[in-house]
Structure 1
Amino acid sequence: MSPLLKIRSERDQMSAIERRIADFLLDNAHLLRDYSSQQLANALGISQSSVVKFSQKLGFKGYPDLKYSIGQAVARGDGGDEHVASEVRNDDPHAALAEDLWHLKAQAEAATRLINPPERIDAIAAAIQQAGKVFIIGLGEDGIPARAFATRLSMLGILTVHYVDAILMQAGVSSAAPGDVLLVFSEHGRQPALCQISRLFRERFGKVISVSRHTPNPLRAHADAALLVSAHDERRHIEPLLYQCALQHLLDLIFILLCDGNDDRRSQLDFNFERMQDLLDS
Structure 2
Amino acid sequence: MAKPTASVRELIRAQYADLTQTERKFAQALLDNYPVAGLASITIVAQNAGVSTPTVARMVQKLGFKGYPQFHQALREELEAKVSGPTQRRENWASDAPEGHMLNRFAGAVTQNLSQTFSNLDADAFDAAVRQLADTNGRLYVVGGRITRALADYAFTHFQAVRQRVTHMTSSSATWPHYVLDMVQGDTLLMFDVRRYETNLQRLAELARERGVHVILITDQWSSPIAAAADQTFNCWVEIPSAWDSNISTMMLLEAMIAATQEESWDETKARYDRLDDLFDLTRLFRKF
Give TM class, smaller chain. 0.5 to 0.7
Matches of 1:269 and 1:104 in 2, distance apart? 37
**Paired amino acid for 1:116:** L
Secondary structure of the corresponding residue to residue 136 of structure 1: strand
Residue aligning to 1:65: none
Secondary structure of the corresponding residue to residue 280 of structure 1: coil
Matches of 1:198 and 1:160 in 2, distance apart? 17
Residue aligning to 1:276: 280
Residue aligning to 1:178: 185
Matches of 1:140 and 1:259 in 2, distance apart? 28
- Say yes or no: does 1:146 pair with 2:152: yes
Question: What stretches of structure 1 of length at least 5 have no aligned partner?
Answer: 1-5, 16-51, 59-82, 84-94
Matches of 2:254 and 2:140 in 1, distance apart? 15
| Residues 148 and 192, structure 2, Cα contact 8 Å, conserved in 1 | yes
Secondary structure of the corresponding residue to residue 128 of structure 1: helix
Identity of aligned residues (%): 15
**Paired amino acid for 1:159:** R
Matches of 2:135 and 2:286 in 1, distance apart? 32
Matches of 2:8 and 2:151 in 1, distance apart? 24
Kindly report which structure 2 residues correspond to 1:154-193, keeping only aligned pairs within 5 A, or say none: 154-163=160-169, 164-188=171-195, 190-193=197-200
Secondary structure of the corresponding residue to residue 232 of structure 1: coil
| Residues 193 and 224, structure 2, Cα contact 8 Å, conserved in 1 | no
With the length of structure 2 as denominator, give the TM-score of the two structures.
Answer: 0.61
Secondary structure of the corresponding residue to residue 174 of structure 1: helix
Kindly report which structure 2 residues correspond to 1:85-124, keeping only aligned pairs within 5 A, or say none: 97-124=102-129
Cα separation, partners in 2 of 1:189 and 1:268, compared to 1, 3 Å? farther
- Say yes or no: does 1:204 pair with 2:207: no
Residue aligning to 1:265: 269
With the length of structure 1 as denominator, give the TM-score of the two structures.
Answer: 0.63
Matches of 2:286 and 2:8 in 1, distance apart? 47
| Residues 173 and 201, structure 1, Cα contact 8 Å, conserved in 2 | yes
Matches of 1:96 and 1:271 in 2, distance apart? 48
Q: Which is worse superposed, 261-270 or 158-167?
A: 261-270
Residue aligning to 1:229: 236
Cα separation, partners in 2 of 1:99 and 1:12, compared to 1, 3 Å? farther
- Say yes or no: does 1:7 pair with 2:5: yes
| Residues 189 and 220, structure 1, Cα contact 8 Å, conserved in 2 | no
Question: What stretches of structure 2 of length at least 5 have no aligned partner?
Answer: 13-57, 65-97
**Paired amino acid for 2:110:** K
Secondary structure of the corresponding residue to residue 216 of structure 2: strand
- How many positions carry a matched residue from both structures? 205
Cα separation, partners in 2 of 1:274 and 1:103, compared to 1, 3 Å? farther
